[in-house]
Amino acid sequence: MAADNPGGGSSLPVSKAFGWLFRLLVYGAIVFTVAPLIAVVLLSFRPNPYGKAVISAGWPSFVWYGKLPDLISNLGFASSLISSLEVAIATTVISTVIGGLAAYAVVQKDFRYSSALETALVSPLVYPWLLMAIAILMALNYVSDVTGLRFSMSIWTLLAGHVLFTFPYPIRTIGAGLQNYNEELDEAARNLGATRLDTVRNVTLPLLRPGILSGAAFVFILSFNQYIISLFLSGTSIQTVPLLMFNLIKAQSPPQIAVLGTLLMAGMVVLTVIVEYVAGMSRYI
Amino acid sequence: MSQGFRESVSERVSSAISDHGEGAFGRWLLLAPALIVLLALLYLPTLFILRESVLTDAGTSLAYYGQIVADAYYQSVAVRTVKVALVVTVIDFALGFPLAYAAVRGGRLLGGVIVIATLAPLSVDLVIRTYGWYILLGRGGLVTNVLVVLGVGSQSHQPQLLFNTTGIIIGLVQVLLPFMVFPIMTILHTIPREYEEAARNLGANRFGVFLRILLPLSLPGIAAGMLLVFTNSIAAYVTPAILGGSTQTLATKITGIFTTSNDWGLGSALAMLLVVVAVLVIVGYQRAMENAGGSVGGTGGEH
């Protein structure tokens, strides 16, 4: 492999040492990034509920997976899952539409202000989530002060926060699709007698589908996993999955957390693999 | 709704887009939802953080800021937060650059493994990922046991890797590594392999190629990656909250103030410190992306 031998035939000690350091860093970093995920999966098969060893006597055991139905009903996991799915699906629809429309405007070549506009549109990607949550909280606080009405946290404040931090992702993916889009295909369809609606439905949307699907998948995953914005904006009635998992960490035994974590991980991996296969999601990173 | 009605509505919407989408008015119309979200949920609300931070019982004053500056505790939290962010940024660069280089130049298999290894964790709930470290780094955990075997500390005096800055740094380095790797990967793709070959033919060793060719040419990507890692590290909540224990950072302190007390003025003043950092980073990031020839968007955050 070229990367293993960037020095070619050089046999200088500096070069050799640098090559070894390079390999150590690369393989070390790969192990490092997957270590906590593997630890959680391995831990979910540990029968012993106590301690922090990843593997103990009797491993692997499916005893905690057997107790999963009890675990789900006792811990309120089912209702959290429903809340999270509701919020994530609604966010996905809203953010993909908002982002898609904006993408269409931004890619026009002769558009003035496009540099300043881009900075503005991508600013939620760089702006810390914690600050978005506090900002929305303070805005509500101000509106309450001025109008005398009391606003409490609800699904609407939660959705507002989730849309804010996710809508730039579809701009990126759909914008990439639009930049490579050949408008002559639309014209060809129209010349062959297709109505505008037919053209949009049968030509434009299918060609843009990878970008739309990838953007929607990014939004769904980010919204489903969001913690800090949900902590500030969900109020007391809604507990999303990340909020629940955070609270369970200190209350439940390690393998129980690990079983739930492994299942959530599996769900996300399946979703990612499907979207990657259908739409080539990783191209848009 | 009847099929005919729906079709006529769709027809009107799509013809409106194609008639006006090219004109300036149509473009602003398409941008309107996004701009309204930005203005109503981000820009104006950020001003309300500022308002809350200067609104005291004695009218408008900088009393909360004075309180923060005078308090040795807040000073120590702020210093710790910045130190952690700097250390995390440096380590992520040391790990992220070789990873990005190996992903771009290292052949299909290694490249694929690296992309999956950096991408896959991003789709997993941050709480679960951090929990993995909580298990590995704790007393009797795998990492501590390995360190004891290697002679660091002893069974009765295990090295303390959890509930302190060490734990926070380890967790953040892993969580934020993708945000260093992806911008650098993007820019390394634009550097022709021939440059490195030419330098080697002229007698440069591997370190020389890195220092004289790769490093200068990939600076915009490195800058973007460092800015993302630094700002996300400063504002991260979940990882320090789980791995730091009682060791506080600005983000955990601010969240604590907002969720357990009514001292919103103080919390807002602390939050404004982060706002200043974030705004500087957004400007710098955009500069870096322009230098890198980046188009729409950028890589996102992870807190």
How far apart (Å, rounded) are the C-alpha atoms in residues A200 and B281?
39
More confident call, B145 vs B165? B165
Question: Distances from the Cα of B200 to the Cαs of A8, A81, A172, B204, B209, in angstroms?
Answer: 8, 56, 38, 5, 7
Average pLDDT over residues B143-169: 87
Per-residue pLDDT for B297 more than 60? no
Answer whether residue A227 is part of any domain: yes
Q: How many CB pairs under 8 A join A and B?
A: 350
Whether A239 contacts A76, CB under 8 Å: yes
Mean pLDDT confidence for A196-225: 89
Q: How far is B8 from chain A (nearest CA, A)?
A: 9
pLDDT top residue among B178 and A1:
B178
Q: What type of residue is A204?
A: T
CB contact under 8 A, B94 and A168: no
Per DSSP (E only), the strands in B18-110 are 55-56, 59-60
Q: Is residue A36 part of a domain?
A: no
**B14 pLDDT exceeds 80?**
no
Regarding an ipTM greater than 0.90, the answer is no
Phi, psi of B59, rounded to the nearest 5 degrees = 85, -160
* B200 with A264: Cβ contact below 8 A: no
Asked whether the beta carbons of B56 and B137 are under 8 A apart, the reply is no
Q: Exposure string (b/e) for B243-277, b if CB count within 10 Å is 16 or more?
A: bbeebbbbbbbbbebbeeeeebbbbbbbbbbbbeb
**What does the pLDDT average to over A73-92?**
93
Any bridge partners for residue B55, and if so which?
B60
Collect all residues of chain A within an 8 Å Cβ-Cβ radius of residue B234.
128
* A32 Cα to chain B: minimum distance (Å): 7
Confidence of residue B20 (pLDDT cuts 50, 70, 90): low
Contact B200 A161 (CB under 8 A): no
For residue A218, give the chain B residue with the closest CA. B123
**Which residue in A41, A49, A42 sits closest to A251, CA to CA?**
A49
Q: Is the pLDDT of residue B11 over 80?
A: no
- For residue B64, the distance in angstroms to the closest alpha carbon of chain A comes to 16
Would A265 be classed as within a structural domain?
no
In sequence order, what E strands does B46-193 have? 55-56, 59-60
Confidence check: pLDDT of A93 > 90? yes
- CA of B93 vs chain A CAs: smallest distance (Å): 11
Single-letter amino acid, residue A64: W
* Cα A153 from Cα A156, distance rounded (Å): 8
Q: Would residue A46 count as lying in a domain?
A: no
| Mean pLDDT for the stretch of residues A175-184 | 82
Give yes or no for A59 touching B (CB within 8 A): no
| Interchain proximity A30–B113, CB inside 8 Å | yes
pLDDT at B116: 85
Q: Burial of B193 by CB count in 10 Å (0-12 exposed, 13-18 middle, 19+ buried)?
A: exposed
Smallest Cβ distance to B296: which of A12, A167, A176? A176
User: Of B44, B124, B238, which is closest to A227 when you measure between CB atoms?
Assistant: B238
**Residue A49 near residue A32, CB atoms below 8 Å:** no
Determine, yes or no, domain membership for A147: yes
CA–CA dist B264, A23 (Å, integer): 49
Is there a contact between A7 and B35 if contact means CB atoms under 8 Å apart? no
Phi, psi of A19 (to 5 degrees): -60, -40
Q: Give every CB contact of residue B213 below 8 A, 6+ residues apart in sequence.
A: B191, B195, B196, B199, B204
Enumerate the residues of chain B whose CB falls inside 8 A of the CB of residue A280.
none
Q: Is residue A200 part of a domain?
A: yes
Count of the separate structural domains present in chain A = 1
pTM of the shown model? 0.88
Q: Cβ distance B117 to B182 under 8 Å? A: no
Contacts of B293 in chain A (CB under 8 A): none
Confidence of residue A6 (pLDDT cuts 50, 70, 90): very low
Q: Is residue A158 part of a domain?
A: yes
Confidence at B131, pLDDT banded by 50, 70, 90: very high
Query: B281 and A136: CB-CB below 8 Å?
Result: no
- Give me the amino acid identity at A73: S
- A40 contacts chain B (CB < 8 A): yes
> Quick check: B136 and B214 in contact, CB under 8 A?
no
pLDDT of residue A5: 47
Higher-pLDDT residue of B157, B269: B269
Look over chain A and give the mean of its residue pLDDT values, rounded to a whole number.
86
Phi, psi at A60, each rounded to 5°: -85, 145
Average of per-residue pLDDT across A87-91: 98
Domain that holds residue A200: 75-248
Residue among A34, A32, A281 nearest A170 (CA):
A281
Write down the pLDDT at residue B10. Answer: 62
Residues 65-104 of A with CB under 8 A from B: 97-99, 101-104
CA distance B119 to chain A (A): 8
Lowest mean pLDDT: which of A54-58, A73-77, A196-200?
A54-58
Query: Distance (Å, rounded) from C-alpha B95 to C-alpha A123?
Result: 27
Contacts of A104 in chain B (CB under 8 A): 17, 21, 30
A94: Cβ contacts below 8 Å, ≥ 6 apart? A159, A163, A167
Residue A2, pLDDT > 50, answer no
Is B28 within 8 Å of A105 when comparing Cβ atoms? yes
Locate the chain A residue with the closest alpha carbon to B102.
A3
Give B206 to chain A, closest Cα distance, Å. Answer: 5
Backbone angles phi, psi at B60, to 5 degrees: -75, 120
Residue with tokens 């706002």: B275
Residues 6+ apart with CB under 8 A from A72: A78
A245 and B234: CB-CB below 8 Å? no
- Tell me the H-state helices in chain A: 13-43, 63-66, 68-74, 77-106, 114-126, 129-147, 155-166, 168-179, 183-191, 196-199, 205-225, 228-233, 241-251, 254-279
Which of A12, A14, A20, A26 best tests the B interface by mutation, with the highest count of B CBs <10 A?
A26
Interface test with B, best of A33, A121, A259 (most B CBs within 10 A): A33
With beta carbons less than 8 A apart as the criterion, state whether B139 and B132 touch. Answer: no
Lowest-confidence range among A135-139, A172-176, B188-192, B299-303?
A: B299-303
Q: How confident is the model at residue B300 (pLDDT cuts 50, 70, 90)?
A: very low
- Mean local confidence (pLDDT), B205-229: 88
Of B26, B138, B254, the CB nearest to A130: B254
Residues from chain B that touch A162, judged by Cβ atoms under 8 A, are none
Neighbours of A137 (CB within 10 A): 23
Tokens of A164: 């804010």
The enclosing domain of A88 has a CATH number of 1.10.3720.10
Pairwise CA distance, residues A109 & B295, whole Å: 12
Q: For residue B224, with 0-12 CB atoms within 10 Å meaning exposed, 13-18 middle and 19 or more buried, which class applies? A: buried
- Between A128, A197, A264, which is nearest B303 by CB? A128
pLDDT at B18: 59
CB contact under 8 A, B275 and A131: yes
Closest Cα in chain A to B16: A196
* Element at B193 (helix H, strand E): helix B193-201
Q: Which residue in chain B is spatially nearest to A187 when comparing CA positions?
A: B18
How far apart (Å, rounded) are the C-alpha atoms in residues A19 and A126?
A: 34
In a domain, A233, yes or no: yes
Segment B138-157 shows an average pLDDT of: 83
Q: How confident is the model at residue B296 (pLDDT cuts 50, 70, 90)?
A: very low
The pLDDT of residue B284:
82
Of A224, A257, A285, the CB nearest to B119: A285
In contact, B74 and B81? CB cutoff 8 Å: no
Q: B157 in helix, strand or coil? A: coil
Which residues from B are below 8 Å from A19, CB to CB? 206
